[in-house]
Amino acid sequence: MLKGGKPGRRPLACGDRGAEVVWLQNRLRQLGYAVGDADGIFGLTTEAALRRLQKDLRLRVDGVAGPQVWQLLRDPELAPLYLLHAVQAGEELSSVAGRYGVNVRALLQANRSLRWCGLFPGQILRLPLRAVWLQPEEAGQLERYLPVLAARSYQITGLILPWPWEEARAARQARTLCREFARWAKGHGLPILPLVEVRGQAAPWPELGRAADQLGARGVVLQCTAEESGLDLIREAARHCRRERRRLYLSLRFPSEQGRVLAAPEWEELGRLASRLIIHSPAIPLRLTSLGLRPWQVFLGLSARGFSPGWSDQIRLVRRQLLGGLVLVGLGPGMDRLWRLISSEFAIINGTGWHSIQLDGPHQGKAVGKRGKEL
């Protein structure tokens, strides 16, 4: 525990020592970067881990923990990017892969040295780690998801529940179903986020807080269109969430031909207003740097209503671009194939949500293997 306030009061470089170095080493290890023991000595191993983080997150690669690095590391929304596994005597690739719910291909892609030096005791393996959230299309369809959740709750980070805010009788019944479903999900360790959709210029600000309160969520997902006309609504939503100390997540769809798609400065503003951006277009993540967005802040929305030949490329994009993860929208045939594609690219954060990191202690989230056993 640091004395005298938050870490990052001064830049740290190779050769430095002290409590801030311990904090830095613990935080790097939480994110999945091997630093050895957190001994408070900024040595070559710590510098190499920091350089790898800077390269992954598109920062200046100099091995120095300066203001930009400290700002990033203090962000509680930055979840682990990798799992680290120390190889034990007698282990094989297949057993390591099975332990983390991935296939051997994912291990080989993340650890290229395995191709020429093989597996040996004491070796540190890295596995990409991403979040996978499941989002039903309508609140009235929630019961259809129970079999999937019962079978694959260990492969899901959490649930995004559509929250109907109209006063019609059907909407009131759907809200009751959402509350019952949320109780079931929390009993199985799955965090919940309500999704409130903006239609036209209607602004359901009181419903944002009500949805979060009734589902026991610390944040809310606002679904809207990524065009200039919707910016004022998003700014108002962000002010409302700040007043109530809630996190705002944006689920962004793209406008018709008449609407103007957002420019780079506007995307950068959205990245400041919202904790996460769920983008329902694979084209945007390819331009993250030019748009001023942080890769780990972006989630790719993927339609799971039916098999798509583009699934493989989109899931691979999440790994290669270091995006935060996937949001699977809908439920349809081909789900087993979809899970196999995911397991060939990365392991899944299970039941930790987007806001569970304690910066003064070990990461609270857990990686979970195929049988749902904590690792």
pLDDT score recorded for residue 130: 92
Same fold yes or no, 19-73 and 130-353: no
Its CATH architecture, for the domain 82-127, is: Roll (3.10)
pLDDT score recorded for residue 209: 83
Q: How confident is the model at residue 165 (pLDDT cuts 50, 70, 90)?
A: confident
Q: How confident is the model at residue 362 (pLDDT cuts 50, 70, 90)?
A: very low
What does pLDDT average to over the chain?
82
pLDDT surpasses 90 at 349: no
pLDDT surpasses 70 at 118: yes
Q: How confident is the model at residue 43 (pLDDT cuts 50, 70, 90)?
A: very high
Q: How confident is the model at residue 66 (pLDDT cuts 50, 70, 90)?
A: very high
Higher-scoring residue by pLDDT: 104, 228: 104
Q: Is 125 helix (H, G, I), strand (E, B) or coil?
A: strand
pLDDT surpasses 90 at 173: no
pLDDT score recorded for residue 359: 30
pLDDT score recorded for residue 228: 66
Query: What are the residue boundaries of the structural domains of the chain, listed by start?
Result: 19-73, 82-127, 130-353
Contact 60, 45 (CB under 8 A): no
pLDDT surpasses 70 at 41: yes
Strands 192-197 and 366-367: unpaired
**pLDDT 10s digits, 195-227:** 988 866 566 677 788 888 888 888 999 998 877
Q: How confident is the model at residue 109 (pLDDT cuts 50, 70, 90)?
A: confident
Q: Could you tell me which CATH number the domain at 130-353 has? A: 3.20.20.80
Higher-scoring residue by pLDDT: 77, 10: 10
Percent of the chain with pLDDT over 90: 30
Q: What are the residue ranges of helices labelled H in the chain?
A: 19-30, 44-56, 67-73, 93-99, 104-110, 114-117, 146-152, 169-187, 205-215, 231-243, 264-273, 288-291, 311-320, 335-343
Which of 6-20, 169-183, 216-230, 285-299 tops mean pLDDT?
6-20
**pLDDT 10s digits, 259-316:** 456 788 888 899 889 989 999 887 777 777 678 788 888 999 999 888 888 899 999 9
Q: How confident is the model at residue 33 (pLDDT cuts 50, 70, 90)?
A: very high
d(CA 126, CA 108): 10
Higher-scoring residue by pLDDT: 68, 149: 68
Q: What is the pTM of this model?
A: 0.85
Structure tokens at 101: 């719910």
pLDDT score recorded for residue 5: 62
Helix and strand element counts for the chain (H, E): 14, 11
Percent of the chain with pLDDT over 70: 87
Task: State the fold for domain 19-73.
Answer: Muramoyl-pentapeptide Carboxypeptidase; domain 1 (1.10.101)
Mean pLDDT of all residues in 1-8: 66
Question: Residue 336: which region, alpha, beta or left (left: phi > 0; alpha: psi -120 to 50)?
Answer: alpha
Q: How confident is the model at residue 3 (pLDDT cuts 50, 70, 90)?
A: low
Handedness of CA 131, 275, 305, 137 (dihedral sign): positive
154, with CB counted inside 10 A (0-12, 13-18, 19+), is: buried
d(CA 136, CA 242): 27
